[in-house]
Amino acid sequence: MCELFAMSSRMPATLSFSLERLARRGGAEGPHRDGWGIAFYEGPDCLLLREPRPASESPLMQFMGHQGLRTRMALSHIRLATFGNRSLRNTQPFLRELGGRMHVFAHNGDLPALLNTADDPQAPFRPVGETDSERVFCDLLTRLAPLWRDAGDAVPALADRLAVIGAHAADLRRLGTANFLYADGDALFVHADRRTQLDGRIRPPGLYLLQRCCWRSAPELADSGVELQSVRQDVALVASAPLTDELWQPLGEGDLIALADGCCYNAAGMLSPPEQVADPAPSQRPSAAGRSVSGVGC
């Protein structure tokens, strides 16, 4: 299966270390050699970079790892092809416009039944490539489009968007495995299902969550006459497998959350501490120390 990674932060953060670890798994430490892509958001727009080549052999990915880009929201995908050949049109994440915003989607799993459905030439969103993942994205946007149309120039309520995404995710779970990341520039939506584990069995967890809260100084303001002792940074990270030795929280099968400004919201759109997103065993629940560490975004 493919590898997913996403970040949401309160203040702009530079992605480097976590992406470097993810890239090493994309061919150097794993079989995921069929392409990679990453989307960096700036407000309603985003920069999308993707290549149908191993991330671990990509000079562009190496540059990104060393240089990094500052953003408050990003999501990434490293591909192990199952449906569709190795080509740019089949390389995730996928991108579409809706409601004057760029929407981005990345999927990990297999939904072969979707490939047997014929394309509707009148559909508002149609796939460019041959993957089941892009069909999922087009169908999701079709379901979300009425919300954005009715909202006019505003952003639809978070709870309304979560309800549509949750219903779509439930349909997908009946067809196969469906871990996915979806962003609309306002929020980053995470749906966890199952994935192939190290023992070869398909079971949860399909995704892991890590939340960080830290404080950093702002010395760049010293010469301006402004005194600011520290700035709070909240960061939420999602990955197919833990990327560090910190206490990543496994998400349960069917869990749906939204991330915005580094904070986590449950499927009802309510702000949720990370230990309340799912209900893991007490020994698996992240401690406060595990959530308050330095690193990406700090």
211 CB-contact burial (10 Å; exposed 0-12 / middle 13-18 / buried 19+): buried
Q: Which of 2, 46, 263, 264 is catalytic?
A: 2
Taken in order of first residue, the domains within the chain and their CATH numbers are 3-291 (3.60.20.10)
In what helix (H) or strand (E) does residue 47 lie, and over which residues does it extend? strand 45-51
- Is 298 a catalytic site residue? no
Q: How many CB atoms lie within 10 A of CB 128?
A: 12
Distance in angstroms (rounded) separating the CA atoms of residues 252 and 278: 6
123 close to 21: Cβ distance less than 8 angstroms: no
Q: What is the pTM of this model?
A: 0.85
The C-alpha atoms of residue 191 and residue 251 are separated, in whole angstroms, by: 9
pLDDT one-digit tens code per residue, 154-168: 999 999 999 999 999
What's the CA gap between 288 and 270, in Å, rounded?
Answer: 20
Write out the two tokens for 82: 């199952």
Per-residue pLDDT of the chain (298 residues; tens, 9 = 90+): 578 999 999 999 888 755 666 666 555 566 667 788 999 999 999 999 999 988 778 888 888 777 778 999 999 998 776 776 889 999 999 999 999 999 999 999 888 777 777 677 788 899 999 999 999 999 999 999 999 999 999 999 999 999 999 999 999 999 999 999 999 999 999 999 998 888 888 899 999 999 988 766 555 555 555 665 667 789 999 998 888 888 899 999 999 999 999 999 999 999 987 555 554 333 333 333 233 222 355 5
